[in-house]
A and B are shown apart, each in its own frame.
Chain A
Amino acid sequence: MLELIERFDFFGAVGLTLWLTLWGAILAFVLGTIVAIMRLSPVKALQFAGTVYVTAFRNTPLTLIVIASNLVLWNQLGLQLAPRDSASYIVDTNIRLAILSLAVYHAAFVCEALRSGVNTIPVGQAEAARSLGLTFAQNLRHIILPQALRGAITPLGNVLIALTKNTTVVTAIGVAQVSHSMARMIEFRSDVIILIFGLVAITFVALTLPMGMLTSWLSQRLAVRR
């Protein structure tokens, strides 16, 4: 088993999974916040665009997005995400496409998580802010978003856990993270398949369990007392 782990660089694969999760989460959070602001804004055109974004990406399978990023964005439309002359051109491109796909997909869920956070804020908060004469932007910046963020920790944590597990999907475009290395290991040593599955399963439990615990601890600690 140890020999297998070493031979197929399992820890490298776990590292790549973490890398994808980290960048996917950062970009999804930024994009999701922008979409959430669009959906909350008083401008109808922006609301509409935000709604279309969320509806489209929430109802499309991630696998389709990942494969389309490779076949359509890169192959057909010629999107360049890495320097063409570098030795690791194809590997880098696929990793970046994977991060891009994970980000645009999960941004839709981040947006909905933030909106559910906004729903936890009593009406009086926004009304008080308005009666003080705060504009929509000031209201959002000082009153709504800080509280919404604290109220949205549990759903945001769920999105993060789902994102971690969903990084396995990018094996569809050959990114060598955990699910990819699992398939290679099984193809090499099919007699210890249960052991390999156990190793991968424990890896994911070990990755997601602390996230769940951190989420519930944070959501209790940061909960807005009312």
Chain B
Amino acid sequence: MNTTAILFDAPGPRTRSRHLIYAILGALVIFGIGAWVFAILWEQGQVTPDRWAPVFTPEAWEQYFVPGIRQTVVAAALSMVLAFIFGFLFAMGRMSEVAPLRWGSGVIVEFFRAVPVLIMMLFVFYLLTYNSDITGQTLSFTAVVVGLTCYNGAVIAEVIRNGVASLPAGQREAGLSIGLSPSETRRLILVPQALTAMMPTLVSQLVVVLKDTALGYIILYPELLNRIRQMGNRFGNLTVTFVVGALLFIVLNLVVTSVAQMLERRLQRRGTSAGVGARGRAADAELDASNA
């Protein structure tokens, strides 16, 4: 159902004027909240130029924002690549004909999906602290990447499996009827189509990974959030740096989201059988994105 259009009739003149009043009232309320927040900020001296000026200096960007974004993106990108490999292997394992392999993969995937990312990160962090020579930034980086890989790998395994399940049955039947074995059918016919179809979902998963790198703050990985706090402490403008930092995260994620949407539009234009089945599934998987 095309949401907004059918919930109400095309408004007539009276309704239009009523809506105009609602719109003005609504805008006033929103404006009022904005003004109230601004007043509080003003009272606390947060909107003065000297609080905002540090944000626009090259120093702020060179020492805090750019390195922060770089560390965040590096950790997210590496985790995403590893998670994809992990997810691919376990998806194949879960669809295998060998029963013990199937059960084993199932248990591992469900386990990593149930354990919070932060718990995984803390575990790896302390495990390496007490049992290895790795220290400092390498240590927290490893913990962040391993934690993100395990959780997102498990999610990606499920995404791929769902993608295969949503393909039309004829694809598999045709593969089998030309004499391919079940595993060849999966490898050569089903999985490639599922991957293409689920590409937008996989790219959206990158938003989750990017957001979750911020958990590295807790184990002292110097990603964007950590730099924001350092910068706020240094210039005494925590409120301002947090606002700017949140905006940076939002922009970064919106860029990733728009790439995912572009891919989805392209798939729909091509109109392959894989694209048809994937649409509903992609919506399901997207809602899983509520992770930290």
Contact = CB atoms under 8 A, between A and B. Distances in A.
A190 B284 CA distance: 40
Contact of A166 (B19, B116, B225): B116
Interface stretch (B82-90, B97-105, B170-178, B243-251): B243-251
Given A63-B215, A78-B44, A183-B126, 17 more contacts: A40-B3, A46-B22, A47-B4, A56-B246, A60-B249, A61-B213, A61-B214, A62-B211, A64-B249, A67-B229, A75-B238, A109-B289, A121-B1, A165-B115, A168-B118, A172-B217, A205-B114
A76 B228 CA distance: 15
A208 B115 CA distance: 9
Contacts of B114: 165, 201, 204-205, 208-209
Interface of A: 40, 42-47, 49, 55-56, 58-64, 67-68, 71-72, 75-78, 106, 109, 112-113, 115-116, 118-123, 126-127, 130, 136, 139-140, 144, 154-155, 158-159, 162-163, 165-166, 168-169, 171-172, 178-179, 182-183, 186-187, 190, 193, 197, 200-201, 204-205, 208-209
Interface stretch (B6-14, B53-61, B194-202, B259-267): B6-14
A100 B180 CA distance: 56
Contacts of B133: none
B127 interface: yes
Given A63-B214, A76-B238, A204 B116 contact: yes
Contact of B287 (A158, A201, A204): A158
B75 interface: no
B291 to A, nearest CB: 5
B6 A179 contact: no
Contacts of A197: 119, 123
Contacts of A172: 217-218
Interface in B31-67: 40-41, 44, 46
B2 to A, nearest CB: 8
A197 B249 CA distance: 31
Contacts of A171: 118, 218
Nearest to A143: B7
Contacts of B30: 45, 49
A interface secondary structure, majority = helix
Interface string B124-145: 0011011000000000000000
Interface in B153-175: none
B65 to A, nearest CB: 14
Contact of B119 (A109, A162, A179, A208): A179
**B7, B44, B115, B212: residue with the most chain A Cβ atoms closer than 10 Å:** B7
A136 B38 CA distance: 34
B8 A136 contact: yes
A119 B3 contact: yes
Nearest to A156: B287
A140 B116 CA distance: 36
Contacts of A113: 287
Given A59-B249, A115-B3, A193-B126, A158 B27 contact: no
B249 to A, nearest CB: 5
Interface string B220-250: 0000010011001000001100100110011
A121 B253 CA distance: 30
Nearest to A109: B290
